[in-house]
Amino acid sequence: MLWLTYRQHRMQLLITAGLLVAVGIVLLVNGNAAADSPAPAKLFADLYQYLSWLQVVPVAIGVFWGAPLVAAEFERGTTKLAWTQSISRFHWLGVKLGLLAVLATLGGLAFGAMMQRWVAVFPTDRGDTDFTSRFDNPVLFAMTGVAPGAWWLFGFVLGTAAGALIRKTLPAIAVTIAVSVGLMIGVSNVRDHYAEPRLVALGTEPVGRVVEMIRDAAGEITALKILPADWYWRFQWTEAAILTGVSLLLAVAATFAIRRRS
């Protein structure tokens, strides 16, 4: 069953692996050049304008990996063959969903690790702007650390659940795109609420992102509420846990969908 799953989805797997290798080479070349450059900010900006588009990779994973997984089987009528053999429909879905979910997560983690290493070449004390901060830049936050692994997993399972519920590939793709993009926008707007901001007295140098200014009755600023920069990993694991939990719920929904679609 594992070999069959690989054979059926090897094209998506090979294309994704090729993408990771290509991105890794580009990041390595750019990072090595920036490490010895007196003006690394330009090298960062030149590549970032293209790399920022890679935040939509989870959507592509949902579209090309997830949506056709079950929906295409329904459309071709091959479920009638696959589910009448010695392997039950739950075993069939479990192997396919489990194997590809693990590979999607590992791919996302590899991408996040490469991006993490690349961004580390551009510390702010070399004259670069705060735009290179993994914590302050929402695009870099979603593409570094463990968050990409959770986003890739979510995209894949969302596409699978949409395909299992709708049973048509194109509508499942449309739903996957709409929900994925909507959630990305929504999460970027609520990310600052993962933890209660720290209150810092005015006059103290804030090490982090200012999210609110506290004013007295006269309107004078007396304190700041900040999200410390060292909370980066705390927020990373929080986002990963939320997305993993949602992915598990979607996997359960896909399982119940194929159970009632007999």
Distance CA 160, CA 64 (A): 10
Structural contact between residues 96 and 73, judged by C-beta atoms closer than 8 angstroms: no
The sign of the torsion formed by the CA atoms of 109, 115, 121, 127 equals negative
pLDDT at position 181 is: 96
Q: What does the pLDDT profile of the chain (262 residues) look like in tens digits?
A: 666 666 677 888 999 999 999 999 999 999 898 878 777 888 888 898 899 999 999 999 999 999 999 888 887 776 666 666 666 777 778 888 999 999 999 999 999 999 999 988 886 655 455 556 788 889 999 999 999 999 999 999 999 999 999 999 999 999 999 999 999 999 999 999 999 998 888 766 667 788 888 887 888 888 888 898 889 999 999 999 999 999 999 999 998 888 755 4
- Looking at residue 46, its pLDDT comes to 86
Residue 83's pLDDT is 61
The two beta strands, 198-201 and 208-215, are unpaired
CA angle, 16 then 99 then 97, to 5°: 100
Kindly list the strands in the beta sheet with 221-228, ordered across the sheet, starting from the edge strand earlier in the chain. Answer: 198-201, 221-228, 208-215
Q: What is the largest CA-CA distance in the chain?
A: 77
Q: What is the pLDDT of residue 81?
A: 61
Q: What is the Cα–Cα distance from 121 to 139, expressed in whole angstroms?
A: 17
Kindly report the three-state secondary structure assignment for every residue of 179-203: HHHHHHHHHHHHHHHHCCCEEEECC
